[in-house]
Amino acid sequence: MMTNFEDYINNFFNSFESNSVVEAMKYSMSNGKRIRPQVIFAIAKGFGINEEECYPCALALEMIQTYSLIHDDLPCMDNDDLRRGKPSCHKAFGEGIALLAGDCLLTHCFETIADSTYDNYTKSKMISCLSKYAGMKGMVYGQLLDVENKLAKTKENLFLIEDNKTGGLFKIACLFAMYLGKVEMYSEFELLGSKIGEIFQLQDDLMDVTRSEEEMGKSLSDEDNDKFTALNIYSIDELKKIIEDKFKELKEYTRKLNLDSKYLIELIEKMAKR
Ligand code: IPE
Ligand code: IPE
Ligand code: MG
Ligand code: MG
Ligand code: MG
């Protein structure tokens, strides 16, 4: 058994023979905050499940997250040069290799779950929700709305974009942990992911204007790209207050879940401080 998640990640990628796509995947996988894996770990711990058991599905989700960031940074999308404290994948390896590294992460993420020791029911449920919320019912759909940028700037449309592009992967994290916990509370855990994702993206929108690129380790380009973000609806102070209120409401909500919510609340409090 691996001792920590970073070793587990490295071990997976070291099993490939080196080439430029493999090196680009390793490069882009490094330095992530691993928030989505931490959500899985925190909920799973509340079910009495140890962290190591979460590694195969947490790796799959972090691979999807990394692929979404590689593609998000491409010149045809947000055109950003800095990611995870380093030049973005296409800046370091070129656009063709970056595109393939994203494709390859997306392709192999299913392998980590399929080859895990989870039972077949858990595997099939995980693969189903991973496909769904990373695709047209989640991340890709949200990215489509973000890139097209033709929706009216209303609160409802802001939620629609953010709940899909960011909520999608947090829904996957919560549902993965639910499947590991062997409980059947789909709508409650889907809603948990939606709530975490919404706050996370509201914070991200806020930090795009209040922090520096050095602090964030990524390009901050929303304004230059004329993106539809929370700042089109709220002032900085209003947004700070909304985020604070939503964090309180989120902590309350965790009581509705059938688990020891101590670890999840600790994580929520950590996220609130960022
Ligand atoms: C970036 O996610 C994309 C958003 C949804 C804002 P993170 O802020 O979790 O980025 P990494 O994975 O730590 O690099
Ligand atoms: C991206 O949102 C969410 C993804 C699905 C990748 P952003 O475009 O705001 O993410 P950052 O700010 O580049 O990390
Ligand atoms: Mg984007
Ligand atoms: Mg971006
Ligand atoms: Mg952003």
Confidence of residue 162 (pLDDT cuts 50, 70, 90): very high
Q: What is the residue with the minimal CA distance to atom 12 of ligand 1?
A: 32
Closest CA to 193 of 169, 165, 160: 169
Mean pLDDT of 109-132: 98
Q: CA separation (Å) from 199 to 102, 110, 240?
A: 26, 28, 11
Query: Residue 53: is its pLDDT beyond 70?
Result: yes
Q: Which of 64, 198, 204 to mutate to test the pocket of ligand 1 (most atoms within 8 A of CB)?
A: 204
For residues 80 and 71, give the distance between their C-alpha atoms in angstroms, rounded to a whole number. Answer: 10
pLDDT confidence of residue 258: 87
Ligand 4 centroid to residue 3 C-alpha, Å: 32
| Ion ligand 3, residues whose Cβ is below 5 A away | 72, 78
Residue with tokens 């999840």: 264
Q: Which of 6, 29, 35, 169 to mutate to test the pocket of ligand 1 (most atoms within 8 A of CB)?
A: 35
CB distance 139 to ligand 2 below 6 Å = yes
| Closest ligand 1 atom number to CA of residue 35 | 9
Question: What pTM does this model have?
Answer: 0.98
| Closest ligand 2 atom number to CA of residue 169 | 5
Q: What is the pLDDT of residues 191-225, one digit of tens each?
A: 999 999 999 999 999 999 999 999 999 999 999 99
Q: Is 188 helix (H, G, I), strand (E, B) or coil?
A: helix
Which own/partner pairs from 25-29 qualify as long-range (CB within 8 Å, at least 24 positions apart)? 25/66, 25/101, 25/104, 25/105, 27/86, 27/89, 27/92, 27/93, 28/66, 28/69, 28/70, 28/83, 28/84, 28/89, 28/101, 28/105, 29/62, 29/63, 29/66, 29/105
**Enclosing H/E stretch for 10:** helix 5-14
Q: What is the mean pLDDT of the chain?
A: 97
Instruction: Name 46's Cβ contacts closer than 8 Å, sequence gap at least 6.
Output: 181, 257, 259, 260, 261, 262, 263, 264
State the Cα torsion 202-149-132-116 to the nearest 10°: -60
pLDDT confidence of residue 24: 98
The percent of residues in the chain predicted with pLDDT above 90, rounded, is 98
Which own/partner pairs from 263-267 qualify as long-range (CB within 8 Å, at least 24 positions apart)? 263/41, 263/42, 263/43, 263/45, 263/46, 264/39, 264/42, 264/43, 264/46, 266/42, 267/38, 267/39, 267/42
CB distance 143 to ligand 2 below 6 Å = yes
Confidence of residue 108 (pLDDT cuts 50, 70, 90): very high
Confidence of residue 2 (pLDDT cuts 50, 70, 90): low
